[in-house]
Every structure is written in C-alpha cells, then in structure tokens.
Amino acid sequence: MSQSHQAQIDAFMAQVAAQNAHEPEFIQAVQEVAETVIPFIADHPQYAKHRILERMVEPERTIIFRVPWTTDSGEVQINRGYRVEFNSAIGPYKGGLRFHPTVTLSVLKFLGFEQVFKNSLTTLPLGGGKGGSDFNPKGKSDAEVMRFCQSFMTELSRHIGPNTDVPAGDIGVGGREIGYLFGQYKRLRNEFTGVLTGKGRNWGGSLIRPEATGYGTVYFAAEMLATKGQSFEGKSAVISGSGNVAQYAAEKCIHMGAKVLTMSDSKGFIHDPAGIDHAKLQWIMDLKNKRRGRIQEYVNQFPGATFHAGQRPWGIACHAAFPCATQNELNEEEAQALVNNGCIVVTEGANMPSTPEAIEVFNKAKVLFAPGKASNAGGVATSGLEMSQNSLRISWSGEEVDSRLLNIMKDIHSQCVAYGKNADGHVDYVRGANIAGFVKVADSMIDQGVV
Ligand code: NDP
C-alpha cells in the first residue's frame, strides 16, 4: 500500500476512534473496510467529494431503551434494548437481533456496519441494521423468555415495520423468540405483516431460512475451492459453534462429502476423529435445539470422541475451517496452527470471527479466506426471499428457495472475484467484498442527495 493511502487511512481512523471511543469492535470493523475502500476511493473521487465513507460510519439512527420484565417468582428485572438503523440507501433496514450478555452498543454497531455491506452483496433491496439486548435467554423458562420478548417488542414496535425495518434472529434469538416477538407486534399494531423474518412455517416463514446461513457458507466455500479445481469430496472440516449456523454448515459439509471433525460451544469443543455423520448431527440438533443441552454431552453418547474444555478447535488438522460461533474467536496463533496443519480454505459463518492478525496470517500463506459479510450472507438473502414471499402472499418450495440461495452465493462469489483478484491470480475476498458492497450503497447515496 502506498504511503499516501496509509496516511489517509490513519487520519480517517483517528477521527472514527475519537468519535466512537470505547467501541473496539466497531472500530475493528471500520478499520477492515477503510483499509480496502480508501485506496479504491482515491481512484474514484466522486465518493470522496460526497463524503460517502464518512457518512456510512454514522448510523442513520440509534435507539436505546429500557426493557423491564418479571421472573417466574415475581422479581423485577431490567435489561437494555437496542436497534441500530445503520443505512437505508438501498432498502429497509434489515439485520438480526442478538440476545446475549456480551451485547453492547459497540458490538451492535460493528454488526450493523457489516450488515450494510453484506446486504448490498446479496443483490437484494436490503438496507442494514442490527439490534438486541444484554438479556441472556439461557436458563430462563419459556414464560420468562416470552415476557422479556413482549416487553422488548413493546418499545421496538414503534420503530420497525415491513417497509421500514425488518429484524431477524441472531445469537440467542431463534424460532421461539421470533414467535413471541411477532405475536406481540401483531397484537400491538393489529396487523399481520412480514415485519420479522425467520418466522414459523405456518405463519409466513420461508422454507430453508433456518438452514440458509450454514448452507450458504458451505456453498460459498465450494465456489472458493472450485477456483483451485477442488471440491469437498474427501476433505476434512473443522467447525466451531453448535448453534444455528454451525449445525447447517455441518449438514451441508457432510452432504458434499466432507468429514466434519469438530463442533463447539462456549465451554469447549468435541473432536470426533471418525467424523460427525448425519445421524450424529441429528443427535446434536436434538441436544441443542430441543433439550437445550451442552456439546460436551456428545462424548457420553459417542465414546470415540473427546471433549476439550475451555478450548477452541483450531488446533485440529483439517482442509477446511468454518468459524461459526462468534466474533474474534480465531486469533493469530490459531490461524498459524491451521496453516501449519495444511488448511487450504477458511470460510466465516459467524460475523468477524477472525481477528485482523489472523486474517493477515491467512493472506500471507495465500490460504483462501472469506469474510463473513460475503460468505454468511445466505441467511439475510433468504430473509429477503421470505420478505418477497410475504409481499406476494405466496410460498415457494424448498427446492426453489435453495436454488435461489445457491445462485445468490455464486453471484456474491463472482462479485468478490471481480473486485478482489490480484495480479498473481490470488483472490483477496476481503477487498472484493468490501468494494463490491460499498459501490452499490455509495452510488445510491449519491443519487439520493445529502440525507
Ligand atoms: P446461536 O445462538 O444459534 O449459536 C451460537 C453458537 O456460538 C453456540 O454454539 C454458542 O455457544 C457459541 N457462542 C456464542 N457466543 C460465544 C462466545 N462468546 N464464546 C464462544 N462461543 C460462543 O447463533 P447463530 O448460530 O445464529 O450465530 C452464530 C454466528 O453467526 C454469530 O456470529 C452470528 O452473528 C452469525 N450469523 C448468524 C446468522 C443467522 O442466520 N443465524 C446470519 C449471519 C451471521 P453457547 O451455547 O455456549 O453460548
């Protein structure tokens, strides 16, 4: 990178850091974009003239609210609720809700900022937003989760709508929570609309939406491997997480002929050298989704496997790695271990799971590396397809949605290649995704004037 580009990036980031002190995750997400987009803007001065990047790092609106609720024993609890409406240049705000004790404004701003680029890449008319709460659904009864969701939606309902802002699930927000949130919105507004995605099949949900993020991530990885004339057949895969994204990434890996060696949760990871097959995965889905158990219970059921408490799975040798749990869960040392053990492709199912230092290791080693904003965009893309079905009041078959998802992932991959291919043929998917996502939003912002 030239010295003048570096100076521009440093000046821009100093300003962002000063205006967003105490928001490390948000600053990290902006830094990654700035490093690739600022050199591009230098060759396209219209974006500098309209101060597009400066406007894009400022959310259009941020809502923070009190969420009071009562436990089953009648105790009053207070959590904090958020919705960050980041950018609506190309469509209504769209992005998930996260319920987890680690939720802060910084985390939601990083997720909302990334969402703007991701949604642009899907080719669908979706703006970017994100929201959630520091509420922890773990260990709560269904009735407590319901009361929390009803209280959260009582305030959120003033700010969202099918043409304004359409939230979905994320960590801690699955089908159960979306159901309670939707029920309360409908009751308050007295209207049945597609205001949330990830809905149940009987009340406006789309087939394949639960599978879409995991499936899409593996479709994207298959496209990456194809650039090297390779496929998943006979390859080994290491997956972190055991939630929605991890489960369906595992299912698609197995389906495509790979051997899945690991899954994890926040307490540690399981390693099954024989491979997690369809039947074992079904057992995990039952454990996590119905019995709400912990991944370590796997080793009691399948004795060939081992549980590694407090550790992450990146030390296990594999061809393909899929971080599918949370942000900053794969660091420099772990990236080096993956490279040393022969990993050739790293595809993010989670948002920003690799630290900047880890990404640097992958780049140096010329490992195929895809950032979540490109590779996990299948979830929001299928949410976009759910919105289309709701508007048309029709329901597509699973095959129809899956084939649209596959085509969208191929399209995102092509956009990344178009903007990210280096002279030596290696594809920098981070640069490709950032620039391709940026251009569509930036051009729309210019068209719409200074708003
Ligand atoms: P889930 O809540 O279904 O699962 C999350 C998984 O990650 C669980 O196994 C959980 O373990 C683990 N996890 C969560 N927080 C931590 C932590 N701090 N440290 C270690 N492990 C952790 O969420 P999803 O599968 O929906 O989301 C996973 C990732 O994918 C997130 O980054 C999310 O933003 C991203 N994503 C999700 C999409 C979706 O459609 N759901 C769309 C695009 C991106 P435990 O149970 O122990 O907490």
Per-residue pLDDT at 149 exceeds 90: yes
Q: Tokens 């500098």 map to which residue?
A: 48
Mean pLDDT, the chain, rounded, equals 97
Is residue 1 very low, low, confident or very high in pLDDT (cuts 50, 70, 90)? confident
Question: Nearest residue CA, atom 40 of ligand 1?
Answer: 379
The CATH fold assigned to 212-366 is Rossmann fold (3.40.50)
Per-residue pLDDT at 11 exceeds 90: yes
- Specify whether 118 is catalytic: no
Average pLDDT for 431-439: 98
Q: Indicate the residue type of 96.
A: G
Closest CA to 379 of 192, 241, 244: 244
Q: Which protein residues touch ligand 1 with a CB less than 6 Å away?
A: 102, 169-172, 213, 241-246, 265-267, 324-326, 329, 349-351, 376, 379
Question: 264 with 243: CB under 8 angstroms?
Answer: no
Question: What is the structure's pLDDT at 189?
Answer: 97
Distance between CA 447 and CA 131 in Å, rounded?
28
Question: What ligand 1 atom has the least distance to the C-alpha of 242?
Answer: 9
Is residue 3 very low, low, confident or very high in pLDDT (cuts 50, 70, 90)? confident
Question: Nearest residue CA, atom 35 of ligand 1?
Answer: 350
Domain 61-192 falls under CATH 3.40.50.10860: yes
> Phi/psi of residue 230, each to 5°?
-120, 165
Q: Indicate the residue type of 159.
A: H
Q: Tokens 């997956």 map to which residue?
A: 239
List pLDDT tens digits, range 311-336: 999 999 999 999 999 999 999 999 99
3-state SS, one letter per residue, for the chain: CCHHHHHHHHHHHHHHHHHCCCCHHHHHHHHHHHHHHHHHHHCCHHHHHCCHHHHHCCCCEEEEEEEEEECCCCCEEEEEEEEEEEECCCCCEEEEEEECCCCCHHHHHHHHHHHHHHHHHCCCCCCEEEEEECCCCCCCCHHHHHHHHHHHHHHHCCCCECCCEEEECECCECHHHHHHHHHHHHHHHCCCCCCCCCCCHHHCCCCCHHHHHHHHHHHHHHHHHHCCCCCCCCCEEEECCCCHHHHHHHHHHHHCCCEEEEEEECCEEEECCCCCCHHHHHHHHHHHHHCCCCHHHHHHHCCCCEEEECCCHHHCCCCEEECCCCCCCECHHHHHHHHHCCCCEEECCCCCCECHHHHHHHHHCCCEEECHHHHCCHHHHHHHHHHHHHHHCCCCCHHHHHHHHHHHHHHHHHHHHHHHECCCCCECHHHHHHHHHHHHHHHHHHHCCCC
List pLDDT tens digits, range 68-84: 999 999 999 999 999 99
The full set of domain ranges for the chain reads: 61-192, 212-366
Question: What is the structure's pLDDT at 316?
Answer: 98
Question: 148 with 140: CB under 8 angstroms?
Answer: yes
Verdict on whether the full-model pTM lies above 0.85: yes
Angle separating helix axes 24-42 and 3-19, nearest 10 degrees: 150
Q: Indicate the residue type of 279.
A: A
Query: Can you say whether residue 234 is alpha, beta or left, with left for phi > 0 and alpha for psi between -120 and 50 degrees?
Result: left
Closest CA to 361 of 326, 334, 322: 334
Average pLDDT for 403-426: 97
Distance between CA 395 and CA 385 in Å, rounded?
10
Strand partners, 166: 94
Question: Nearest residue CA, atom 28 of ligand 1?
Answer: 325
Closest CA to 38 of 80, 60, 6: 6
User: Separation of 98 CA from ligand 1 center, angstroms?
Assistant: 9
Per-residue pLDDT at 36 exceeds 90: yes
Q: Which is catalytic among the residues 130, 140, 280, 373? A: 130
Q: Do domains 61-192 and 212-366 have the same CATH topology?
A: yes
Question: What ligand 1 atom has the least distance to the C-alpha of 383?
Answer: 40
User: Separation of 318 CA from ligand 1 center, angstroms?
Assistant: 22
Question: 30 with 57: CB under 8 angstroms?
Answer: yes
Is residue 231 very low, low, confident or very high in pLDDT (cuts 50, 70, 90)? very high
Question: What ligand 1 atom has the least distance to the C-alpha of 377?
Answer: 43
In the chain, % of residues over pLDDT 70: 100
Question: 168 with 197: CB under 8 angstroms?
Answer: yes
User: Separation of 100 CA from ligand 1 center, angstroms?
Assistant: 10
Closest CA to 220 of 89, 7, 407: 407
Strand partners, 77: 69
Is residue 159 very low, low, confident or very high in pLDDT (cuts 50, 70, 90)? very high
> Phi/psi of residue 68, each to 5°?
-90, 145
